[in-house]
């Protein structure tokens, strides 16, 4: 190793603490060490010129320097022509490297190759060439393209047994046995079989409804560390049910949202938990594509799918799946996602899975679940489904032919003019305090912001004054523009 500088003054300064090897000597007045020197510390303020290390030799063919002190090399133009390995390096001025720099690792593949966290007060540049970083829908809010992925909004009902509640009805007779509990997520069984219960719940001393009536451990169970997830849905096979028809959960994206994903790499992630007697071999999940609306109800055939499986787990587990979607065509232009399992044998009561934190984003990395404010989620969900929460309506028109027209203002503009009216319970006509049975309620085509409901009632032939609809007890009415 050659140590050189212009005519150093050795008097009164400790030039170095070193051990010579073989015939290594330091020639005073020239600053030249001949032979091999192992320097553990270079100290002093009198060294103000450059330090040049050439033919550096250690066991790893490098110069090993453990400490370089202020007033010496780092602020005086030091140059290393070999490999420099430093355990702690404090640079007060400019540090220039002609090759790659490795930090926290033995070799550098890139100009700056770091193993560990990087801390800085600021970063300069657009970041346009950064790779391996998952980007969302625009890089800010709404990176997650799934609405209500945390199951917080459930305008429909908190629990429902498919086939045993009129609110399970959707569009078309063959699809009458599919339902929504958490908004935007549709649940049904293959061939629309019955024997499935859907529950929407939250994690605060939650009873493991409707099975064991035991308390589920709260914060230790749900992944609170990820954006405060608290709500979840339970999809179960009813106790004693022997049908092996798949239990399906599906979600559909509007074409305007899905279009940006075709031909791109995307990542689907979610949290799940399976029951102690979950009878499926795995939980299947992935992305599905079809030629039209209705994927989430099974009304449109799946023309393309990309999927994988997650193993049963009796504790909350996060699963993710990265894939590249195909280019858009007329047969796969509508996009959805799904979760399903095939049960076996006879259900003994805990044949179910929990799900929450569903997220679909651009990129190859499953980032933390994106929190969306409650009011924003509610507005987004009411674009597809709007409960009519009023106890009565004063009607402005009676046709005197057994029909009355009730105008409805929807508030949040819906996706399309609502075409489905969902009712449950007892709803009657009230004329001057006299209630009469309604034989039919139908929705009339309107706009995305308004619609009218026709009530058919025999008593209307004689009652021509102000009328109102009265909903008794837990009666329910809503309009839908779901996909």
pLDDT of 401-421, one tens digit each?
788 888 888 989 999 999 999
- Residue identified by tokens 């940006």 is 260
pLDDT of 94 over the 60 cut: yes
pLDDT at residue 211 above 80? no
Q: Does some domain include residue 143?
A: no
Q: Computed over its alpha carbons, how large is the radius of gyration of the chain?
A: 35
Judgement on whether residues 362 and 462 belong to the same structural domain of the protein: no
Confidence of residue 400 (pLDDT cuts 50, 70, 90): low
Q: What is the CATH number of the domain that holds 213?
A: 2.60.120.260
Domain edge (last residue) among 114, 143, 170? 114
Mean of per-residue pLDDT scores for the chain: 76
How much of the chain, in percent, has pLDDT values that exceed 90? 38
Q: Which band of pLDDT confidence, cut at 50, 70 and 90, is reported for residue 394?
A: low
Q: Would you state the pLDDT for residue 471?
A: 82
61-70, 87-96, 139-148, 202-211: which has the highest mean pLDDT?
A: 139-148
The residue among 366, 380, 452 whose CA lies nearest residue 409 is 452
User: Do 390 and 374 lie in a common domain?
Assistant: no
**Does a cis peptide bond (omega within 30 degrees of 0) precede residue 418?**
no
pLDDT, greater one: 75 or 351: 351
Separation of alpha carbons 331 and 324, rounded Å: 17
Do residues 361 and 391 both lie within one domain? no
pLDDT at 218: 44
Name which residue leads in pLDDT, 205 or 89: 89
- Kindly report which listed range (238-252, 276-290, 390-404) carries the lowest average pLDDT score: 390-404
- The answer to whether residue 77 scores a pLDDT higher than 60 is no
Q: Tell me, what's the pLDDT at 249?
A: 95
The region of weakest confidence among 297-301, 318-322, 463-467 is 463-467
Q: Quick check: helix, strand or coil at residue 259?
A: helix
In the DSSP assignment, the letter for residue 175 is G
Residue 207: the pLDDT is 40
Do 310 and 414 fall within a single domain? no
What is the number of domains present in the chain?
3
Return the pLDDT at 139.
45
447/2 Cα distance (integer angstroms)? 86
pLDDT tier, 204 (very low <50, low <70, confident <90, very high otherwise):
low
Same domain, 105 and 181: no
Given 82, 114, 146, the domain boundary residue is: 114
Single pTM value for the model: 0.69
Q: Which residue range is the domain that position 364 belongs to?
A: 159-378
Question: Using 50, 70 and 90 to split pLDDT, how confident is the model at 251?
Answer: very high
Q: What is the pLDDT of residue 118?
A: 78
Residue 396 has pLDDT above 80, yes or no: no
- H-type helices in 303-395, by residue range? 374-381
Structure tokens given for 312? 């049963």
Does 446 reside within a domain? yes
φ, ψ dihedrals at 374, nearest 5° = -55, -45
The domain boundary residue, chosen from 329, 359, 378: 378
Residues 225 and 322 in one domain: yes
Q: Name the band, by pLDDT with cuts 50, 70 and 90, for residue 181.
A: confident
DSSP classification of residue 416: S
| 3-state secondary structure (DSSP) of residue 420 | strand
320 and 460 in a single domain? The answer is: no
Which of the pair, 69 or 238, is modelled with greater confidence?
Answer: 238
* pLDDT for residue 457: 87
Given this model, what pLDDT does residue 403 score?
85
pLDDT, one tens digit per residue, over 20-58 is: 444 445 555 555 555 545 444 444 444 334 444 444 334
The number of C-alpha atoms within 13 Å of 139 and in the hemisphere containing its C-beta is 4
Is residue 439 domain-resident? yes
Q: What is the pLDDT confidence band of residue 203, given thresholds at 50, 70 and 90?
A: low
Q: Which residues pair with 359 in a beta bridge?
A: 269
| Cα-Cα end-to-end distance for the chain | 75
Mean pLDDT, rounded, for 189-203: 84
Which comes out higher in pLDDT, residue 292 or 11? 292
The confidence score (pLDDT) of residue 14 equals: 40
Judge whether residue 2 has pLDDT over 70.
no
32-37 CB contacts, 8 Å cutoff, 24+ apart: 32/2, 32/3, 32/4, 33/1, 33/2, 33/3, 36/1, 37/1, 37/3
Q: Do residues 278 and 413 share a domain?
A: no
Segment 376-397 mean pLDDT: 80
What local confidence, expressed as pLDDT, does residue 402 receive? 82
Number of H helices and E strands in the chain, helices first, is: 2, 32
Stretch 423-443: mean pLDDT: 86
336 and 208 in a common domain: yes
* Residue 157 confidence (pLDDT): 75
For residue 276, the model assigns a pLDDT of 95
Band (221; pLDDT cuts 50, 70, 90): low
Residues contacting 131, CB < 8 A, separation 6+ = none
92 in the same domain as 15:
yes
> Using the 8-state DSSP alphabet, how is residue 148 labeled?
T
DSSP designation for 436: E
Q: How far apart are CA 67 and CA 140, in angstroms?
A: 44
User: Alpha-carbon distance 456 to 403, whole Å?
Assistant: 5
So what's the pLDDT on residue 271? Answer: 94
- C-beta atoms surrounding 370 within 10 Å: 21
CA 341 to chain centre: 21
Q: What is the pLDDT of residues 103-152, one digit of tens each?
A: 888 888 888 888 887 777 766 765 556 655 544 444 457 899 999 999 99
In a domain, 226, yes or no: yes
């Amino acid at each position: 190793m050659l140590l050189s500088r212009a005519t150093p003054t050795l008097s009164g300064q400790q030039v170095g603490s070193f051990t010579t090897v073989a015939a290594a000597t330091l020639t005073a007045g020239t600053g030249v060490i001949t032979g091999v020197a192992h320097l553990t510390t270079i100290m002093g303020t009198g060294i103000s010129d450059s330090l040049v290390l050439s033919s550096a030799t250690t066991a790893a063919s490098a110069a090993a320097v453990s400490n370089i002190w202020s007033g010496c090399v780092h602020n005086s133009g030091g140059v290393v022509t070999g490999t420099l390995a430093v355990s702690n390096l404090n640079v007060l001025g400019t540090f220039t490297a002609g090759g790659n720099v490795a930090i926290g690792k033995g070799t550098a593949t890139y100009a700056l190759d770091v193993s560990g966290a990087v801390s800085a007060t600021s970063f300069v540049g657009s970041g346009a060439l950064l790779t391996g970083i998952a980007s969302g829908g625009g890089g800010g809010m709404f990176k997650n393209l799934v609405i209500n992925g945390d199951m917080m909004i459930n305008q429909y009902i908190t629990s429902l047994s498919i086939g045993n509640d009129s609110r399970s009805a959707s569009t078309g007779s063959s699809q009458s046995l599919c339902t929504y509990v958490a908004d935007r997520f549709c649940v049904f069984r293959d061939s629309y079989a019955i024997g499935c219960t859907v529950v929407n719940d939250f994690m605060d001393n939650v009873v493991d409804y409707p099975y064991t009536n035991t308390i589920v451990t709260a914060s230790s169970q749900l992944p609170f560390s990820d954006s405060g997830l608290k709500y979840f849905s339970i999809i179960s096979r009813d106790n004693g049910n022997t049908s092996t028809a798949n239990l399906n959960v599906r979600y559909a994206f509007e074409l305007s949202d899905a279009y940006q994903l075709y031909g791109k790499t995307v990542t689907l992630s979610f949290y799940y938990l399976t029951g102690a007697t979950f009878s499926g071999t795995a939980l299947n999940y992935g992305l599905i594509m079809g030629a039209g609306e209705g994927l989430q109800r099974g009304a449109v055939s799946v023309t393309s799918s990309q999927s994988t499986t997650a193993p049963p787990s009796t504790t909350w587990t996060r699963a993710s799946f990265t894939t590249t979607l195909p280019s858009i065509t007329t047969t796969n232009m509508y996009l959805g996602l799904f979760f399903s399992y095939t049960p076996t044998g006879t259900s003994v009561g805990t044949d179910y899975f929990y799900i929450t934190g569903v997220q679909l984003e651009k990129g190859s990395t499953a980032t933390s679940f994106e929190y969306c404010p409650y009011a924003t989620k509610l507005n987004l969900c009411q674009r597809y489904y709007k409960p009519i929460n009023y106890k009565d309506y004063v009607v402005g028109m009676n046709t005197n032919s057994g029909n009355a027209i009730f105008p409805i203002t929807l508030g949040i503009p819906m996706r399309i003019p609502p075409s489905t009216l969902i009712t449950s319970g007892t709803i009657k006509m009230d004329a001057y305090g006299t209630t009469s049975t309604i034989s039919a309620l139908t929705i009339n085509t309107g706009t995305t912001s308004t619609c009218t409901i026709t009530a058919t009632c025999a008593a209307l032939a004689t009652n021509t004054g102000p009328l109102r609809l009265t909903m008794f007890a837990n009666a329910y009415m809503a309009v839908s523009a779901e996909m």
